[in-house]
Amino acid sequence: MPPKKAKPTSFARWLLLLPIPTIWGVLMHLGLVDYLENRLIDWRFRARGEIAAPVKVIYVDIDSQALSEIGGFPWSRVYFARVLPALIEAGGVKAVGVDIVFSENGVAEAIDWKKRVEGNRELARYLAKGPPVVTAASYAAPVDRDINGRLVFRALPQVRSLQDAAKAEPPETPAFRISESDPSRLWSPGLIGLIDSIDGATRVVPAYAPTAIRTYLHMSVELARLHFGVKPEGVRIADEAIDLVLPDGRLATRIPLLDRQFVEVNWFSPWMAPNSNPRISFSTVYNYAEMLQSEVEAERQAATQFFAQPEFKDAIVLIGPVDPLLQDLAVTPFDDVPVPKVGIHGNMVKTIVSGLYLRHLPAAANQAILFGLTVAVSIFAAAGGTKGARTKLTAALLLTAYVWFGFKLFQDHHLVLPLVAPLGAAFTTSFAAIIWQLILEEKQKGRIKGMFGAYVSPQLVERMVDSGENPQLGGHDDEITAYFSDIQSFSSFSEKLGSGPLVDLMNEYLTACTDIVQAQGGTLDKYIGDAVVAMFGAPLPLKDHAYRACVATQLVHRKIAELRTKWRGEGGKWPEIVWNMQTRIGLNTGVCMIGNMGSRTRFNYTMMGDNVNLAARMESGAKSWGAYTMCTEATRQDCERHGGDHVVFRPLGRIVVKGRTQAVPIHEIVGLKEHLADSTRECIGLFTQGLARYYERDWNGALDCFRQSARVEPNQPGITPGVSSNPSQVYLAITDHFKHEPPPENWDGVYVMKEK
């Protein structure tokens, strides 16, 4: 079977929906969703948790304890001149980073000039030896004020190309006045690390800043260089990466760059993680450093043991302000509350040494993911209509799987999949597709109502539309109640009425019958001249289809009685035969073949099968029993199962209809309980007694009962319009015949019909 071609409207729909993911793609490309994306990256960090690093990083805190013991900050630089050599020489650390800019503004006014110079000289002399110490340079210090008095800061050089280096302004760097007699004499150390960072000091840092004077590496890059043993000339900067090359030419590590200059921080842990971030107060280290020079042997030994701790060996130490009063704080992906910025350098060192950089897909791949996810989710979201729960669940599972995959790739491979734009595009496009589908379904409902409204009741049309079930091509077996009705002596109507009046009469009659059938949930199958063929229980299931069909028959008879009165009141418009119109109805309940049947170009939704034929026999056979509504035992039982005693039946015996060999118990539907007269109830009782004696071959007893019931029959010949017989009279004739010509000994009371 060839595949179905997509409808033009489907292509048009997707073309009109295409701008939605396109807009999201543009927003992602322009970075307009970066804020939200960063928040989701934070969630991924927290879901991943702490990870181990191949390098030891120890924090020496300028904390409240140090401020209390040493005094208010900034301090004389003599404290640093004592701590740095103790850490490197006694502690065996590989490198120390000092997250403080030793500028001329960085000395307290309370320190007199002599002590200031002494502290500068002592630190300068130590730094001049070239120890593995990285001091800070910063673009964060103000250089001037504008006309409104606002501070003006240096601008971090944004590298468009390496040729921009000659034009960039240098940062504020360490400076030491080392002469009391000549205050103009300044000394600056040679190894300086850039400490500025971008995005609130949590995500991205500048790996370097090229200036007209020199290229400043970020403090973490300098510390990593010292960790690997790379010489300054081994730092090779290119557009895509910074290579740290060992003296023997081997590559120690490669630092990938974003926008030719920046590195994204891979956070290894929250700040308050003792196992990942061992910390010690600056004052503690300073006190032990002083004890190293003590003349007391016990103090020197205690200090030696302190610095001999294995935690110091080959570690990288970061000295920085952590007390909140020093206001060097920022939030991190792990920490909602601002924590010391010195943690940035520690995490950057771990990132560079481990090589565990956050990785991103190329822009084209991100766009492909966005459009691919959007199309997949939207197709499932819109499939199956607005009530396609399974397809919508599949769409939701696709989104959930993508989010899970994004978190899993981040955890295992440090790969950052875009989430905001793809999810936003998928949600909005799917929502638009569902709205579109809803509009189409509303139009479809209107079309279905227009198509089926002429065949089935409005209530049934609503149920068909709401169910979302489409009519099936071909047939299927199902249990229904088949309904056949026919006008008594219709050939006489055709003979006495011209074509025009006959059409008017039939339209009025068929409209009344059809309206009642449809109001009870029945589906019109067809008209065959004056005959009405209908089914109850298809195309939509009805649990109480037999009950509904039985009620419909009695409402039809009551409506025809009203029409007879109306037609009689219209005087000479109609002949007397119209005033006496009666209709016979037959019902049967059972499994039938139901579906669209016919040719490929024209078909009809109809019913077929033996149970349908039996319903037709009930209608035609009703005449033989003087009844106007006859049904099978199956219909009676199913009706009473759902309607109780609301519909009143009387048994008419067991018959074998023409074309069948099995006997069928048959019943007359006498009426609805609320409409039944007392005389009719008496008639049913007497008739039932007579039928029992008839089966017992008590012919005289049966005749007596049938004579009594005949007097109170609801349909009396010559009195009730159009009535020529009734069940009591029929059984009087049959019983009288058997009285004079008894049936054989094996007679079981079954009557075999000779006519259809």
pLDDT in tens, 489-535: 888 887 888 888 899 899 999 999 999 999 999 999 899 989 999 99
- Structure confidence by residue, pLDDT tens digits, 38-53: 899 999 999 999 999 9
pLDDT exceeds 60 at position 283: yes
Provide the angle, in degrees to the nearest 10, between the axes of the packed helices 113-128 and 78-85. 30
Query: 169: burial class by Cβ within 10 Å (0-12, 13-18, 19+)?
Result: middle
Question: Mean per-residue pLDDT for 15-32?
Answer: 88
Question: Mean per-residue pLDDT for 150-164?
Answer: 66
Contact between residue 452 and residue 464 where contact means Cβ atoms under 8 Å apart: yes
Question: Mean per-residue pLDDT for 744-751?
Answer: 85
Name residue 41's amino acid: I
Question: Mean per-residue pLDDT for 683-705?
Answer: 95
- Structure confidence by residue, pLDDT tens digits, 608-642: 999 999 999 999 999 989 999 999 999 999 999 99
d(CA 421, CA 28): 6
Q: How confident is the model at residue 583 (pLDDT cuts 50, 70, 90)?
A: very high
526: how many CB neighbours lie within 10 A of its CB? 13
pLDDT exceeds 80 at position 387: no
pLDDT of residue 128: 85
Across 328-345, b (16+ Cβ under 10 Å) vs e yields bbbebbbbeebbbbbbbb
d(CA 482, CA 484): 7
pLDDT of residue 403: 95
Name residue 24's amino acid: W
d(CA 666, CA 683): 18
> How does DSSP classify residue 411?
H
The upper half-sphere exposure of residue 173, i.e. CA atoms within 13 Å in the direction of its Cβ, equals 20
Q: Tell me the three state secondary structure of residue 103.
A: coil
Question: Mean per-residue pLDDT for 722-745?
Answer: 92
d(CA 346, CA 344): 5
Q: For residue 605, what is the enclosing H or E element? A: strand 603-608
Q: Are strands 750-752 and 647-656 parallel, antiparallel or unpaired?
A: parallel
Point out which residues pair with 533 in neighbouring strands: 484, 526
Q: How far is CA 431 from the centre of its chain?
A: 10
- Report which listed range, 432-436, 450-454, 540-544, 585-589, is most confident: 585-589
Residue 220 backbone phi and psi in degrees, to 5: -65, -35
> How does DSSP classify residue 267?
-
pLDDT of residue 183: 54
Name residue 98's amino acid: V
pLDDT of residue 596: 80
pLDDT exceeds 70 at position 384: no
d(CA 219, CA 622): 105
pLDDT exceeds 50 at position 141: yes
pLDDT of residue 102: 82
Q: Which residues are within 8 A (CB) of 512 and not within 5 positions of it... i.e. 6 or more apart?
A: 556, 559, 560, 563
Q: What dotted CATH number matches 459-673? A: 3.30.70.1230
pLDDT of residue 381: 78
Q: Which residues are within 8 A (CB) of 64 and not within 5 positions of it... i.e. 6 or more apart?
A: 323, 325
517-519-521 Cα angle (round to 5):
75
Output the average pLDDT for the chain.
86
pLDDT exceeds 50 at position 662: yes
Q: How confident is the model at residue 468 (pLDDT cuts 50, 70, 90)?
A: low
Residue with the larger pLDDT of the pair 278 and 448:
278
d(CA 590, CA 613): 11
Percent above pLDDT 90 for the chain: 55
Token code pair at residue 675: 């409409």
pLDDT of residue 1: 40
Which of 680, 707, 681 is CA-nearest to residue 693?
A: 707
d(CA 632, CA 609): 16
pLDDT of residue 755: 62
- Structure confidence by residue, pLDDT tens digits, 591-614: 999 988 877 666 678 899 999 999
Q: Which residues are within 8 A (CB) of 189 and not within 5 positions of it... i.e. 6 or more apart?
A: 124, 127, 128, 133, 135, 174
pLDDT of residue 298: 92
Percent above pLDDT 70 for the chain: 84
- Structure confidence by residue, pLDDT tens digits, 414-452: 999 999 999 999 989 888 877 877 777 777 777 766 666
Q: How confident is the model at residue 196 (pLDDT cuts 50, 70, 90)?
A: low
Q: Tell me the three state secondary structure of residue 649.
A: strand
pLDDT of residue 127: 87
Q: Tell me the three state secondary structure of residue 354.
A: helix
Which of 498, 541, 507, 547 is CA-nearest to residue 527?
A: 507
Residue ranges per structural domain of the chain: 8-34+363-448, 52-142+152-354, 459-673, 677-756
Q: Which residues are within 8 A (CB) of 332 and not within 5 positions of it... i.e. 6 or more apart?
A: 202, 267, 270, 271, 339, 343
Residue 278 backbone phi and psi in degrees, to 5: -60, 135
pLDDT exceeds 60 at position 131: yes
For 337-439, list the strands marked E by DSSP. 339-340, 359-360, 415-416
